[in-house]
Amino acid sequence: MSDEHTPTYVEQGKEFDRDMNYVPDRITRGGERPEHGPVDGELWPVERDRYRLVAAKACPWANRAIIVRELLGLQGAISLGMPGPTHDQRSWTFTLDEGDVDPVLGIHFLRDAYDRRFPDYPRGITVPAIVDVPTGELVTNDFPWITHDFFFEWRDHHKPDAPNLWPDDLREEMEQVMQRVFTEVNNGVYRCGFAGSQDTYEAAYDRLFDALDWLEERLADRRYLMGPTITEADVRLFTTLARFDAVYHGHFKCNRNKLTEMPNLWGYARDLFSTPGFGDTIDFDQIKAHYYVVHTDINPTGVVPKGPDAEVWHTAHGRERL
């Protein structure tokens, strides 16, 4: 039984169902209608130094935003606040900062930014989140659109050699690939880990490894998911792969095999890890602390595993041949 400040994720007898209701506001060039996608909330104008990305290294969804910010060279336009790896039902907290307070926002709980915009915000306090620094209010926590808009709407602030993460000629196929990666892999590991019955767990397990087998085959003759260059699809898959052996294999019972036992996926993951903007955003100690400490309904002792050895990520990948 959990106390009032301990998150619970497993519902007995039920399949895990992710709450995908996020604050739908978007930051766009000039605050005008965006180039792609829906307008279900308010539009905020792109402004250098106005916004703060709050993104914990422990969280795979937040890790995406950190990577894309790095790849596009947006560090000088959007500041980064990083909460610590553990939290309770109240909020992510800035325990890595001096005095446990974010030095720009001046808050200890990320919830404060949510409540400032929406008093007594009723949903989960999630990362990544973008906060309007002048008001201290949440702008959005809609993670798929945050990275999308970093590419399309913040182009005036990209570094000169920023990669084309959304190639026009690949967009349709890439959307299909990313949808399958999201439902079957990114979210698939959570469906395994938070399954409330044997049947829902086994169904989730089969779906996950069907998708991983598909990816293993897809990466046999191409360096990245969409071909010879890195795209948003690779960012989205990488954050799950980086956590697979350290967390999902054991903690979430995704244990048909380890990532290190799938040659193409393992080589691909190490290839990305060695690419600036990817591996340097990964902190395995924070990742393990988050999952094994926060998920008390799965790991009530709070014991954090010592392994696996992170040095294997620095071994040669051999993917240049592709």
Q: What is the DSSP string of 201-221?
A: HHHHHHHHHHHHHHHHHHTTS
Can you tell me the distance from the alpha carbon of 231 to that of 276, in angstroms, rounded to the nearest whole number? 14
**Which residues are part of a known binding site for glutathione?**
92
pLDDT tens per residue across span 134-145 = 999 999 999 999
**Which residues are part of a known binding site?**
92
User: Residue 160, preceding bond cis, omega within 30 degrees?
Assistant: no
C-alpha angle 68-70-71 in degrees, rounded to nearest 5: 65
pLDDT band at 2 (very low <50, low <70, confident <90, very high): very low
For the chain, where are the alpha helices, taking DSSP H only?
Answer: 60-72, 111-117, 143-152, 171-180, 188-193, 198-218, 232-243, 263-273, 284-294
Mean pLDDT of 76-101: 95
Tell me what pLDDT residue 3 has: 32
Which position among 51, 190, 205, 248 bears the catalytic label?
Answer: 190
Report phi then psi at 19, rounded to 5. Answer: -80, 110
Domains of the chain as residue ranges with CATH: 26-157 (3.40.30.10), 168-282 (1.20.1050.10)
Which position among 22, 51, 59, 248 bears the catalytic label?
Answer: 59
1, pLDDT greater than 50: no
> Which residues, listed in sequence order, are joined to residue 146 by a DSSP beta bridge?
none
Q: Is there a catalytic annotation at residue 59?
A: yes
Can you tell me the distance from the alpha carbon of 121 to that of 138, in angstroms, rounded to the nearest whole number? 11
pTM, 2 dp: 0.96
308, pLDDT greater than 90: yes
Q: Please report, in angstroms and rounded to a whole number, the separation of the first and last CA atoms in the chain.
A: 51
Q: Is there a catalytic annotation at residue 190?
A: yes
Q: Average the pLDDT over each of 9-23, 76-90, 172-186, 254-268 and give the range with the smallest value.
A: 9-23
Nearest to 81 by CA among 62, 60, 104, 65: 104
